[in-house]
Amino acid sequence: MKKEVKGIGLSANWTTLVGYDYEVEANIVYKKANGIDIKLDVIAALDKAKPRPTLIYIHGGGWVFGSKEESALRVLPYLGKGMNVVNVEYRLASSSLAPAAVEDCRCALHWVYDNAKKYGFDLDRLVISGHSAGGHLSLMTGMLTTADGFDNECFPEEIREVKVAAIVNFYGITDVLDVLEGPNRQYYAVQWFGSLPDKVQLAKKLSPLNYVRKGNPPIITIHGENDHVVPYPEGVRLHEALNRAGVPNQLVTIPGEGHGPFSHDQLVTAQEAIFALLARQGIIGQP
């Protein structure tokens, strides 16, 4: 008998299906920079004949720590929906200061386009997501265009615009200057910029709020109302700016919580909202 997991709609045998229907290809080098091999993992369905919606996941850690392996289990709900997954690493501040992480993640998106047929990625149903700094990088990767100038290191197989169908932002930084200077200054941001010149202008260039425009993909933001690591008002400002631009979006506020971790029920509520948005966009079936 099937047992439903509250709020996510996954049957008790879904882990068995994933275990036998998917394969993992780990540590694929998608880019080389500063003498570093930058890698990603692919979790793809064995049957490549029919392209599947695909999640691109970017880990957090304030641009200064973290790894794709540490956050790998956060992709499980999407596998349960039959999606493929690309789990991305990027250069941290210890090896490359800003804007290297943004450049890397844009190149990862180009890599997904270049390898769509090989792995069965449906390029019309790409979703990009991340937590904290990964949320910021997801926003930047999904909101930028090639004309914004962050794709110069990517060497794609062809010159084309790369797009995602939706962005899932867990408490990502939306105003980098806000956490670099002033009352909300955070040491992780100071580390990411190091001794770079013209920090103010670069911080503005790296802020998703400055790329809000008509034509952005739909965006859902999940943010704790008492978050001080990435101030909650940043999520509110993004939501309001997207509304003004006419971009479909949603802000899911987690009452009384900070920069995670959230309770089981709160996470389920957030995931339900995410799946509902993806279903409205035709990326997955109805939850």
Q: What pLDDT score was predicted for residue 1?
A: 33
Q: Over its length of 287 residues, how does the chain's per-residue pLDDT go in tens digits?
A: 333 444 445 555 677 778 889 999 999 999 999 999 999 999 999 999 899 999 999 999 999 999 999 999 999 999 999 999 999 999 999 999 999 999 999 999 999 999 999 999 999 999 999 999 999 999 999 999 999 999 999 987 777 899 999 999 999 999 999 999 999 999 999 999 999 999 999 999 999 999 999 999 999 999 999 999 999 999 999 999 999 999 999 999 999 999 998 999 999 999 999 999 999 999 999 76
Q: Is the backbone of residue 55 left (phi > 0), alpha (psi -120 to 50) or beta?
A: beta
What's the chain look like in SS3?
Answer: CCCCCCCCCCCCCHHHHHHHHEEEEEEEEEEEECCEEEEEEEEEECCCCCCEEEEEEECCCCCCCCCCCCCHHHHHHHHCCCCEEEEECCCCCCCCCCCHHHHHHHHHHHHHHHCHHHHCEEEEEEEEEEECHHHHHHHHHHHCCHHHCCCCCCCCCCCCCCCCCEEEEECCCCCHHHHHCCCCCCHHHHHHHCCCCCHHHHHHHCCHHHHCCCCCCCEEEEEECCCCCCCHHHHHHHHHHHHHHCCCEEEEEECCCCCCCCCHHHHHHHHHHHHHHHHHCCCCCCC
CA neighbor of 164 nearest in space, from 58, 22, 287, 271: 58
Q: What pLDDT score was predicted for residue 287?
A: 63
pTM, to two decimals: 0.95
What CATH number was assigned to the domain covering residues 23-280? Answer: 3.40.50.1820
Q: What pLDDT score was predicted for residue 70?
A: 96
Q: What pLDDT score was predicted for residue 279?
A: 97
Q: What pLDDT score was predicted for residue 156?
A: 76
Q: What pLDDT score was predicted for residue 286?
A: 77
